[in-house]
Amino acid sequence: MRVSRCFLPVMKESPADAQIVSHKLMLRAGLVRQTAAGIYAWLPVGWRVLQKIEQIVREEQDKAGSVELLMPTLQSADLWRQSGRYDAYGPEMLRIKDRHEREILYGPTNEEMITALFRDEVRSYRELPRTLYHIQWKFRDEVRPRFGVMRGREFLMKDAYSFDLDEGGARNSYYTQLLAYLRTFQRLGIKAVPMKAASGPIGGDLSHEFIVLAPTGESEVFYDAAFEEFDWSQADLRYDDADGLKALFDQVSSTYSATDETHDEARWAGVAADRQRTGRGIEVGHIFYFGTKYSASMGLKVSGPDGSMVTPEMGSYGIGVSRLVGAIIEASHDDAGIVWPEAVAPWKVGMVTMRGDDPATVAAADDLYAKLSAANVETLYDDRDERGGVKLGSMDLIGLPWQLVLGPRGVAAGTAELKNRRTGEKQELSLESALARFTA
Ligand code: P5A
């Protein structure tokens, strides 16, 4: 992508209405713009990051055996009356009337809709277990939308729903998602500690939040230092190893971690003082096992192996996809701007010409850009006729993992400068090796 043809409004000054670093950087680096309170337009840079996160979440769900579909954002009030949540949900739900005075709502979550879809199609235990998911926009009319996309009113969520014949099966589905979450966050370049959670309005007795540690987080957290040495990828664990999944869950549950809502002073006192860690954190995921709460109230039944009717046991599993953009920035930035983990960076390489008015520099940069693009190396090429220093500043702000800087002196000698955004390390190398560095 050439900056001269992109839509990349970068701001030099810190916007006055942003309080936390990720919100400031998302505005300054041109990722989003607020269009109404708690509602954001995703500009090209932000949209690319959002799609990368979404794709990693999708791949890890698929590996865990979940099946993707897409449900609409708008739902009928009648659906929510079946579970009894239409009245219970309160003012967070955006309620709308259509031209026929029919009550609809912008979905804050999809338990009701997936339960109805499943109920209307599935008849037999042979079609269980299933975990279905979608990645779809939600709306919650939060009292205090704040911190940018971190607590928006419209936000993107991955929500998965599991259906099992019995509690044992449902627990296995829950443990499966627990592992999928550890792997998802690991791939996104962040550590999200699973913490015992209160299940809130969704109901159920088994629930974990996944918390990224950051001083600006909304929840206060308490955890055992063992989580600092935890094996996040669990590379040897297979999804078909039920005992292994249970062992992972037992390990997570027996290692103390809690938010202020579930913190238990008596158990905390059992953690050695030099291993007690406290801080603040951002909730990027939340998983629930709620048994038959929705299946029973909405009349979902399947015939069991012995012919009797069985009410499936369910769980739901959320990841805040748009919130993750902010959370990753909170966890990965420096004074100059964002430092993207490679897996979610909007582009891999940022190319800068120090002199946009020097024909030899421009020719060399155009040539390198064409070759990088031909090799599918995602490159943002700042080809504007701007001062070199200004362009370097905005590259640092945007935070791509690698910068390739071409100037008249280097180009005359056939070289470019390669900078690692995270370490700041710089290296002079030939234009050919610069290309080979990313294409070989
Ligand atoms: C689980 C999936 C649920 O809604 N139903 C379907 C369950 N859980 S949750 O905890 O309420 O939300 C899941 C994740 O969505 C993110 N999130 C938000 N992100 C941005 N702005 C918001 N206002 C917002 N509310 C929730 C969080 O990451 C949460 O963990």
Please give the distance, rounded to the nearest whole angstrom, from the Cα atom of residue 385 to the centre of ligand 1: 44
Please give the distance, rounded to the nearest whole angstrom, from the Cα atom of residue 57 to the centre of ligand 1: 15
Tell which atom from ligand 1 comes closest to the C-alpha of 319: 14
> How wide is the angle at C-alpha 418 spanned by C-alphas 416 and 420, nearest 5°?
170
Please give the distance, rounded to the nearest whole angstrom, from the Cα atom of residue 317 to the centre of ligand 1: 9
Question: pLDDT tens digits, residue range 135-173?
Answer: 999 999 999 999 999 999 999 999 999 999 999 999 999
Please give the distance, rounded to the nearest whole angstrom, from the Cα atom of residue 319 to the centre of ligand 1: 6
pLDDT for the residue numbered 169: 97
pLDDT for the residue numbered 198: 79
Tell which atom from ligand 1 comes closest to the C-alpha of 108: 4
* pTM reported for the whole predicted model: 0.97
Closest CA to 179 of 238, 228, 227, 130: 238
pLDDT for the residue numbered 84: 95
Give the closest residue (by CA) to ligand 1 atom 16: 320
Please give the distance, rounded to the nearest whole angstrom, from the Cα atom of residue 217 to the centre of ligand 1: 15
Tell which atom from ligand 1 comes closest to the C-alpha of 142: 23
Q: Dihedral (C-alpha) 191, 195, 201, 203: value to the nearest 10 degrees?
A: 120
Residue 218's pLDDT band, with cuts at 50, 70 and 90, is confident
Question: pLDDT tens digits, residue range 254-296?
Answer: 999 999 989 999 999 999 999 999 999 999 999 999 999 999 9
| SS3 of residue 145 by DSSP | coil
Domain 3-338 architecture:
2-Layer Sandwich (3.30)
Hey, where are the domains in the chain?
Answer: 3-338, 347-439
Give the closest residue (by CA) to ligand 1 atom 24: 151
Give the closest residue (by CA) to ligand 1 atom 20: 151
pLDDT for the residue numbered 203: 52
Give the closest residue (by CA) to ligand 1 atom 21: 151
Query: Tell me: domain 347-439, CATH 3.40.50.720, correct?
Result: no
Residue 12's pLDDT band, with cuts at 50, 70 and 90, is confident
Ligand 1 binding pocket (C-beta < 6 A) is 109, 140, 142, 151-152, 155, 157, 159, 202, 283-286, 288, 316-318, 320, 322-323
For ligand 1, mutation pick of 157, 188, 283, 293 (most atoms within 8 Å of CB): 157
Question: pLDDT tens digits, residue range 78-136?
Answer: 999 999 999 999 999 999 999 999 999 999 999 999 999 999 999 999 999 999 999 99
Q: What is the mean pLDDT of residues 328-337?
A: 96
Give the closest residue (by CA) to ligand 1 atom 2: 318
pLDDT at 225 over 60: yes
Q: Where are the beta strands (DSSP E) in 293-367?
A: 302-303, 309-310, 313-320, 333-334, 337-338, 349-353
| SS3 of residue 110 by DSSP | coil
% of the chain with per-residue pLDDT over 70: 98
pLDDT for the residue numbered 147: 94
pLDDT at 360 over 90: yes
Q: Is 306 left (phi over 0), alpha (psi -120 to 50) or beta?
A: alpha
Please give the distance, rounded to the nearest whole angstrom, from the Cα atom of residue 242 to the centre of ligand 1: 27
> How wide is the angle at C-alpha 343 spanned by C-alphas 225 and 54, nearest 5°?
95
Please give the distance, rounded to the nearest whole angstrom, from the Cα atom of residue 216 to the centre of ligand 1: 18
Closest CA to 113 of 294, 290, 351: 294
Going by the DSSP 8-state scheme, the letter that residue 355 receives in this structure is: B
Tell which atom from ligand 1 comes closest to the C-alpha of 209: 30
For ligand 1, mutation pick of 140, 323, 325 (most atoms within 8 Å of CB): 323
Please give the distance, rounded to the nearest whole angstrom, from the Cα atom of residue 134 to the centre of ligand 1: 13
% of the chain with per-residue pLDDT over 90: 92
Closest CA to 42 of 199, 156, 183: 156
Please give the distance, rounded to the nearest whole angstrom, from the Cα atom of residue 314 to the centre of ligand 1: 18
Question: pLDDT tens digits, residue range 33-55?
Answer: 999 999 999 999 999 999 999 99
Q: Which two tokens stand for residue 274?
A: 């030099």
Please give the distance, rounded to the nearest whole angstrom, from the Cα atom of residue 283 to the centre of ligand 1: 8
